[in-house]
Structure 1
Amino acid sequence: MIIDAHRHYWDPTKLDYGWLAQAPAALQRPFLPADMDVTTDACLLVQAAPDERETLFLFDIARQTPGVLGVIGWVDMEASDATQRIAALAAQGQGLLRGIRPMVQDIPDTEWLARPSLDRAFDCLRDHGLVFDALVDNRHLRALSQRLTQHAGLVTVVDHAAKPDIAQREFAAWASAIARVAQVPDVLCKLSGLLTLTGEPADPTAVEPYAAHLFQSFGGERLMWGSDWPVLTTHASYDAWKRCAQTLTRRFAPQHEAAVFGETAAAVYSLAGDAPATALGGS
């Protein structure tokens, strides 16, 4: 079974997705399961609004939609009652909540992840067996490494490979920083969102050196594929990106295609059962 580890459904007629105001016009509309008729792949839904109500909205979709295996939600991790909020969301999800994703890339303070006020929330994620999805770019990787060394056993997944600037062919600083993050125990990375970083038109060949470095840094067993649909649709179809990622995996980690396209996501996010996220050894 192929698992898309990073898919969005959203409805700006019901909730406020502030970032959509600066997004391409084609994305400024509802994208719901009925619009996703090109695949039978299972998926993990990921939050797209800094609002706990959106997490509840995703729970409802998951309950009604075959193939949705779990939800990465949002909670105000700096709230004085953050631990209670995380526990409440986990209870409301009834097993659907698999992780939490603060929208770090949109927070003006690039050192936000290092704030001591977040300590209890990160410990709470670990204690509830929830994954921390890190929506970061190169500006945040130092603070991310610092944060993760404080919470042994917290499983973290870096979204979109920390968004390297592929369009401008910026490589060295990102490559060094992401390799350091890969050395932290229990950190994985999503092979997702890369085609939309190549500029327009999409250039699959530009992704190759970045993918090669990711496979070298994390190994095939700590990477998982995600579509980043519908953001992907501004540059390519779902199937086109999947074929591209499959080609890259066969080239750089030929023994790990099953892991990249489902097994790792199922294990890390506990998508096949009720066990909490499992810490992973090695670098």
Structure 2
Amino acid sequence: MIDAHQHFWRIGENDCRWPTADLTAIYRDFNPVDLEPLTKAAGITGSVLVQSQESDADTDFLLRLANESDLVKAVVGWVDLKSITAVPRIRNLAQHPKMRGLRPMLQSLPEDSWILSPDIEIAIAEMQQCNLSLDALVHVRHLQYLRIFARRHPKLAIVIDHAAKPAIAAKGFESWAKAIAALAELPQVYCKLSGLLTEASMEQGVDHLRPYIVHLYHLFGAERLMWGSDWPVLNLAPNHGNYDEWLTLAKQILPVASATELDEIFGTTAKNFYRF
């Protein structure tokens, strides 16, 4: 099995500015030695390591960790896609054997339509030339723009992180369901079954998560849906914030028809998307 989304950081190093001290559950260093016992106990044999800082230093740090870790099979880094140095930076990163994708942190940018900026088109072209995919860290409000972007770039593999963070606590199913369905129509767009627990409230449990997970399964199918822990951010979840518990919960809720589909969602889809 593959964990398609996890993070490492060291507080105060490698331009690490998040998490902040108020997030006590995750305000400490997280390294491979912290994750490996959890993945071993859960039967996870590989992971996709994803950036958490808007920083070249953070991406370089992740690639160094990947060199030292057999668990990490792929790295998703960050590049300033508007920078005049974006193209050579992308070209250089792509030479690393575990570099597989880039993630602009769209959720925190001031313009919801940032992904449509003509200033990033040269960098996007270089990503495709270097066979790198795009992780889309977005909220529901960004999906309309992401769909336009995806239609412009039908050969660019895109995965929606955390299912676009639906407002589960605010019972925002309908608007989310419609917006993500429009993107699921595009065959190069995938989705991560991750990050949902941190969007729910303390009072919400399995029954509240079920319609979101079932909807994702029916939209993307096992061949375009991949499970991720979002560890250690998972530790912020008010319920079921244990690594193995989230894995078990996702398996129980998914209305899969066969063992093959389970293998895809919990392994093969991530391997195919990230090419390892």
TM range, smaller chain: over 0.9
Aligned partner (choices 268, 272, 278) of residue 273 of structure 2: 268
Deviating more after overlay: 231-240 vs 196-205: 196-205
Aligned to 1:38: 38
User: What stretches of structure 2 of length at least 5 have no aligned partner?
Assistant: none
Q: Equivalent residue of 2:25, what SS?
A: helix
Q: Following superposition, which runs of at least 4 residues in structure 1 exceed 6 angstroms of deviation?
A: none
Q: TM-score, normalised by structure 2?
A: 0.93
**Alpha-carbon spacing, 1:169–1:261, altered in 2? closer, same or farther (3 Å):** same
Alpha-carbon separation, structure 2, partners of 1:124 and 1:206: 41
Q: Does 1:28 align with 2:40?
A: no
The equivalences for 1:1-283 within 5 A come to 2-21=1-20, 24-36=23-35, 37-40=37-40, 41=44, 42-91=46-95, 93=96, 95-200=97-202, 203-235=205-237, 236-249=241-254, 251-254=255-258, 255-271=260-276
Question: Structure 1, residues 214-243: CA drift from partner, whole Å, max 9, x if none?
Answer: 111111211000000001112211000000
Q: Equivalent residue of 1:26, what SS?
A: coil
Partner amino acid, structure 2, of 1:262: G
Partner amino acid, structure 1, of 2:54: P
**Alpha-carbon spacing, 1:23–1:142, altered in 2? closer, same or farther (3 Å):** farther
Question: Structure 1, residues 4-30: CA drift from partner, whole Å, max 9, x if none?
Answer: 000101112313333422762221111
Partner amino acid, structure 1, of 2:178: S
Superposition deviation, residue 202 in structure 1: 6.0
Q: Equivalent residue of 1:78, what SS?
A: coil
Question: Structure 1, residues 88-130: CA drift from partner, whole Å, max 9, x if none?
Answer: 1112x2x110000011101011110111111111121111111
**Alpha-carbon spacing, 1:136–1:59, altered in 2? closer, same or farther (3 Å):** same
Aligned to 1:281: none
Count of residue correspondences: 267
The question of whether the paired residues in 1 share the 8 Å contact of 2:63 and 2:75 is answered with: yes
Alpha-carbon separation, structure 2, partners of 1:252 and 1:173: 25
User: What stretches of structure 1 of length at least 5 have no aligned partner?
Assistant: 272-283
Alpha-carbon separation, structure 1, partners of 2:19 and 2:203: 21
Superposition deviation, residue 31 in structure 1: 0.7
Question: Structure 1, residues 247-282: CA drift from partner, whole Å, max 9, x if none?
Answer: 122x245451000000011011011xxxxxxxxxxx
Partner amino acid, structure 2, of 1:29: R
**Alpha-carbon spacing, 1:139–1:126, altered in 2? closer, same or farther (3 Å):** same
Partner amino acid, structure 1, of 2:119: S
Alpha-carbon separation, structure 1, partners of 2:110 and 2:193: 25
The question of whether the paired residues in 2 share the 8 Å contact of 1:215 and 1:253 is answered with: no
Q: Equivalent residue of 1:18, what SS?
A: coil
